[in-house]
């Protein structure tokens, strides 16, 4: 369940202002749900309500086979073809997953570090390895470089058997990767044409790595379906995703330049990375848009906290206060601590964290930093699905408020073209 608490932001954005904004909100709502507006880019919108039985079966078969023949799967992809899976695994696995889990999912192809790929190759010999390469266009430079390096490694190590260790997730019909996979006989899964990278986590792009890691994807989809049912039906001012989008839009119009998604759970930190890409690529264009950034509290209170409290007031904070109901920990501090720390004795870490959330919001809002609070509670797979869909709705609705195309990313091309020019 996701609940928006806008009390801390009310001195910047009032209920009256939100009500006056209704007609613009109504228009954005209509544009969002009209499949003819940005036709071909909104396959994700009704996705949670559609039947994915066949896809689920295909993925399950691949995941089971990969788990049977390997103990490490390298998932290759960048941007929307990577951040969602990383966020999902990090939220749903233990904080110390890599040491605890038998099946390890490692990521590659999301940068060009020789040291990273070198370290990766140097540990693979100790494992049985499979590879999932994810690229919608099929020709993105970073994943392409990593894929061909790992493919070459697999071919040298497993010979003809390499092909059965590779799965390509890509455009259903076209692109270099689709063609290459066909030629080599790899198993493939489609990325629907009308779902862009940053909206694709609930397709095979995110679900296959989750399945390989043994995570309950049905629960993830159930969470997304729950959010779909809820958000689709609510009126503008009762829809927390819309209200969140309208408040951050208002603050942007008031001159705030950046929004930090603040998380207190390390397991939600990568989710903030996914959120950052969603908003950055969707809304940062035509010379406008809030700069999305992320802060991991209380850790960053001892570094960036100083800046947030005392420096230029250009930042707003959206606090994503997550409560996982499926992690069974209850850890209370001992009755007797040292003289200075005794005021914490007998308190649980959760209590301390909740006091931190409230105290930081008070300190920052008093200093002129608008804060919005999103409470999110549930078991992690369901909550993950719910959060994904919640922010997808908020982001696309916000794109309509800004009057931009929230589904393209023309700015990403410039560096790629320059690299190609230098390398060809
Ligand atoms: O959201 C997007 O569309 C991008 O971030 C892409 O996901 C990213 O550039 C990777 O593209 P591709 O999947 O084509 O390799």
pLDDT digit of tens for each residue in the chain (424 aa)? 999 999 999 999 999 999 999 999 999 999 999 999 999 999 999 999 999 999 999 999 999 999 999 999 999 999 999 999 999 999 999 898 776 676 799 999 999 999 999 999 999 999 999 999 999 999 999 999 999 999 999 999 999 999 999 999 999 999 999 999 999 999 999 999 999 999 999 999 999 999 999 999 999 999 999 999 999 988 899 999 999 999 999 999 999 999 999 999 999 999 999 999 999 999 999 999 999 999 999 999 999 999 999 999 999 999 999 999 998 788 999 988 998 999 999 999 999 999 999 999 999 999 999 999 999 999 999 999 999 999 999 999 999 999 999 999 999 888 988 998 999 8
Residues 141 and 243 in one domain: no
Residues 129 and 149 in one domain: yes
Active site residue 418: no
Residues 312 and 399 in one domain: yes
Residues 396 and 260 in one domain: yes
* Sole residue written with tokens 């049912």: 229
Residues 20 and 66 in one domain: no
* Sole residue written with tokens 């930093």: 369
ipTM for the complex shown: 0.98
Last residue of a domain, one of 215, 250, 268: 215
143 pocket-lining for ligand 1 (C-beta < 6 Å): yes
Return the closest-CA partner of residue 263 out of 352, 311, 328, 323. 323
Residues 97 and 229 in one domain: no
Write down the pLDDT at residue 256: 98
Last residue of a domain, one of 180, 215, 250: 215
109 pocket-lining for ligand 1 (C-beta < 6 Å): no
- Residue 422 domain-assigned? no
Residues 252 and 195 in one domain: no
296 pocket-lining for ligand 1 (C-beta < 6 Å): no
Residues 9 and 29 in one domain: yes
Residues 182 and 210 in one domain: yes
- Residue 419 domain-assigned? no
Residues 262 and 281 in one domain: yes
Return the closest-CA partner of residue 381 out of 267, 269, 296. 267
136 pocket-lining for ligand 1 (C-beta < 6 Å): yes
Active site residue 351: no
- Residue 417 domain-assigned? no
- Residue 142 domain-assigned? yes
Given 226, 230, 281, 386, which residue is catalytic? 281
Write down the pLDDT at residue 96: 86
Write down the pLDDT at residue 99: 64
Determine contact, residues 132/424, Cβ cutoff 8 Å: no
Nearest protein Cα to ligand 1, atom 3: 197
Return the closest-CA partner of residue 77 out of 148, 150, 133, 152. 133
200 pocket-lining for ligand 1 (C-beta < 6 Å): no
348 pocket-lining for ligand 1 (C-beta < 6 Å): no
Write down the pLDDT at residue 98: 72
409 pocket-lining for ligand 1 (C-beta < 6 Å): yes
Distance 203 CA to ligand 1 centre (A): 14
- Residue 299 domain-assigned? yes
Distance 24 CA to ligand 1 centre (A): 30
List, edge to edge, every strand of the sheet that includes 371-378: 2-5, 371-378, 315-324, 258-263, 291-296
Distance 202 CA to ligand 1 centre (A): 15
Distance 197 CA to ligand 1 centre (A): 5
Given 30, 351, 416, 418, which residue is catalytic? 416
80 pocket-lining for ligand 1 (C-beta < 6 Å): yes
Give a three-class secondary structure readout of the chain: CEEEECHHHCCCCCHHHHHHCHHHHHHHHHHHHCCCCCCCCCCCCCHHHCCCHHHHHHHHHHHHHHHHHCCEEEEECCHHHCHHHHHHHHHHCCCCHHHHCCCEEEEECCCCCHHHHHHHHHHHCCCCEEEEEEECCCCCHHHHHHHHHHHHHHHHHHHHHHHHHEEEEECCCCCHHHHHHHHHCCEEEECCCCCCHHHCCCCHHHHHHHHHCCCCHHHHHHHHHHHHHHHHHCCHHHCHHHHHHHHHHHHHHCCCCEEEEEECCHHHHHHHHHHHHHHHHHHCCCCCCCEEEEEECCHHHHCHHHHHHHCCCCEEEEEEEEEECCCCCCCECCCCCCCCCHHHCCCEHHHHHHHHHHHHHHHHHHCCCCEEEEEEEECHHHHHHHHHHHHHHHHHHHHHHHCCCCCCCHHHHHHHHHHHHHHC
Distance 216 CA to ligand 1 centre (A): 25
Last residue of a domain, one of 215, 240, 274: 215
Active site residue 302: yes
Number of domains, the chain: 2
Pocket of ligand 1, candidates 140, 171, 405: which has the most ligand atoms within 8 Å of its Cβ, to mutate?
A: 140
- Residue 41 domain-assigned? no
Residues 117 and 180 in one domain: yes
CATH number at residue 406: 3.40.50.10490
Write down the pLDDT at residue 413: 85
Domain coverage including residue 386: 2-34+220-411
Q: What is the dihedral of CA 95, 100, 104, 107, to 10 degrees?
A: 30
Write down the pLDDT at residue 357: 97
Residues 206 and 326 in one domain: no
Write down the pLDDT at residue 102: 66
């Amino acid at each position: 369940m996701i609940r928006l608490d806008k009390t801390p932001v009310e001195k910047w954005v009032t209920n009256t202002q939100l009500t006056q904004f209704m007609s613009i909100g109504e228009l954005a709502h209509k544009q969002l749900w009209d499949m003819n507006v940005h036709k071909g880019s909104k396959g994700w919108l009704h996705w949670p309500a559609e039947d994915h039985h066949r896809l689920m079966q295909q993925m399950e078969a691949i995941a089971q086979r990969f788990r049977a023949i390997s103990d490490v799967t390298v998932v290759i992809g960048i941007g929307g073809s990577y951040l969602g899976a990383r966020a999902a695994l990090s939220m749903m696995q233990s904080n110390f997953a890599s040491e605890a889990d038998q099946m390890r999912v490692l990521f590659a192809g999301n940068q060009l570090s020789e040291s990273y790929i070198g370290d990766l190759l140097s540990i693979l010999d100790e494992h049985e390895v499979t590879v999932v390469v994810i690229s919608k266009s099929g020709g993105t430079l970073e994943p392409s470089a990593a894929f061909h390096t790992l493919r070459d490694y697999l071919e040298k190590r497993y010979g003809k058997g390499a092909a059965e260790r590779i799965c390509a997730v890509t455009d259903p019909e076209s692109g270099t990767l689709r063609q290459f996979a066909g030629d080599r006989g790899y198993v493939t899964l489609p990325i629907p044409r009308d779902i862009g990278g940053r909206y694709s986590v609930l397709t095979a792009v995110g679900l296959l790595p989750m399945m390989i890691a043994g995570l309950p994807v049905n629960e993830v989809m159930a969470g997304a379906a729950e959010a779909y049912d809820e958000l689709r039906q609510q009126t503008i001012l009762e829809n927390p995703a819309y209200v969140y989008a309208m408040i951050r839009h208002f603050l942007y119009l008031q001159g705030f330049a950046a929004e930090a998604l603040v998380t207190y759970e390390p397991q939600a930190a990568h989710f903030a990375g996914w959120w950052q890409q969603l908003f950055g690529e969707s809304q940062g264009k035509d010379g406008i848009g809030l700069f999305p950034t992320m802060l991991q509290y209380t850790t960053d209170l001892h570094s960036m906290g100083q800046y947030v409290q005392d420096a230029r007031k250009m930042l707003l904070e959206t606090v994503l206060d997550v409560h996982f109901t499926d992690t069974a920990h209850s850890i209370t501090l001992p009755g007797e601590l040292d003289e200075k720390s005794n005021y914490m004795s007998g308190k649980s870490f959760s209590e301390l964290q909740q006091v931190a959330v409230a105290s930081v919001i008070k300190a920052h809002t008093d200093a002129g930093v608008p804060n919005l609070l999103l409470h999110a509670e549930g078991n992690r797979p369901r909550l993950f699905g719910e959060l994904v869909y919640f922010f997808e709705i908020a982001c696309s609705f916000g794109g309509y408020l800004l009057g931009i195309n929230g589904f393209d990313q023309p700015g990403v091309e410039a560096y790629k073209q320059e690299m190609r020019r230098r390398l060809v």
